Amino acid sequence: MPTSRSRATVLAAAGAAALALSLTACGGNGSGPKAAAPAEATVAVDPAKNEAGEKNADAEAATVSRAGRAETARSATSPGATVAAAPVCTTEDLKISAARHGGPPHTHIVLTAKNTSGHSCRMTGHPEIQFLESHRGHVPAVAKSRPAAPVVLKAGAPAYAMVRLSDGGVDEPTEPVSGFSVTLKGGGGTAAVTAPGRGGIAVDPAAWRTGYWTYELRNGADDF
């Protein structure tokens, strides 16, 4: 049967063991308790909501892109913008030729100016024609042939101008012409044009007239 001293020894040993465990759990190395590492914050993301947000952002970007393209298209198709953007046609942009028009007596020719430049350009007014060196003034234009809108030629497209040479009278005083000059308004330069036919053309300074540049010949406006 254990004695009182034995029981005291056992109790003392048990207390020392408990104290040692307590000090060990608290970091009993004299440096005091260590602070616990803060837990990392975690944000839960709902996949469905995230996908919806991305779709909304893509839809907004597409809307902005479509609006930009529409504005560009409106600017490109605006007649005013097209005319303002097109440079004046020059003799380097065009191939100008002449052909007889109508049956005998041949009193008219048609000038054709084809855009060979590869880009759009703008025809201004009417051709300034000089048939004879003795008549330094240009052939006058017929006002009713002026087109309602400016003529802008796309690459490869032609413009036309009707030109009256004479009245076609038998006793009409005419002069033969084998070649003549055409000057483009707006600083477009001057081109030498060969008269059609082997014998050239006969012109009467008292009767000659020219029409304006147009996309096509028009009955009425170009009959003069």
Query: What's the pLDDT score for residue 106?
Result: 74
Q: What is the pLDDT of residue 94?
A: 98
**Cβ atoms < 10 Å from Cβ of 68:** 10
DSSP assignments along 72-138, one per residue = HHHHHH-HHHHHHHSPBP-TTTEEEEEEEESSSS--EEEEEEEE-SSS-EEE-S--EEE--TT--SP
- pTM for this model (two decimals): 0.64
Number of neighbours of residue 221 by Cβ within 10 angstroms = 17
C-alpha–C-alpha distance, residues 139 and 130, integer Å: 6
Domain segments of the chain as ranges: 94-210
pLDDT in tens, the chain (224 residues): 444 444 444 444 444 444 444 444 444 444 444 444 444 444 444 545 455 555 555 555 444 444 444 433 343 333 444 666 899 999 999 999 999 998 666 799 999 999 999 999 999 999 999 999 888 789 999 999 999 999 999 999 999 999 999 998 888 999 999 999 999 999 999 999 999 998 899 999 999 999 999 999 999 999 99
Neighbour-count burial for 95-117, b at 16+ CB within 10 Å, e otherwise? ebbbebbeeeebbbbbbebbbeb
Architecture per CATH, domain 94-210, reads as Sandwich (2.60)
Residue among 182, 172, 178, 170 at smallest CA distance from 141: 182
Q: Is the dihedral of CA 171, 201, 159, 94 positive or negative?
A: negative
3-state secondary structure of 14: helix
Structure tokens at 156: 């490869």
Cα–Cα–Cα angle for 73, 78, 82, rounded to 5 degrees:
100
Give the Cβ contact number of residue 222 at 10 Å.
21
Compute CA distances 101 → 186, 222, 223, whole Å: 27, 12, 11
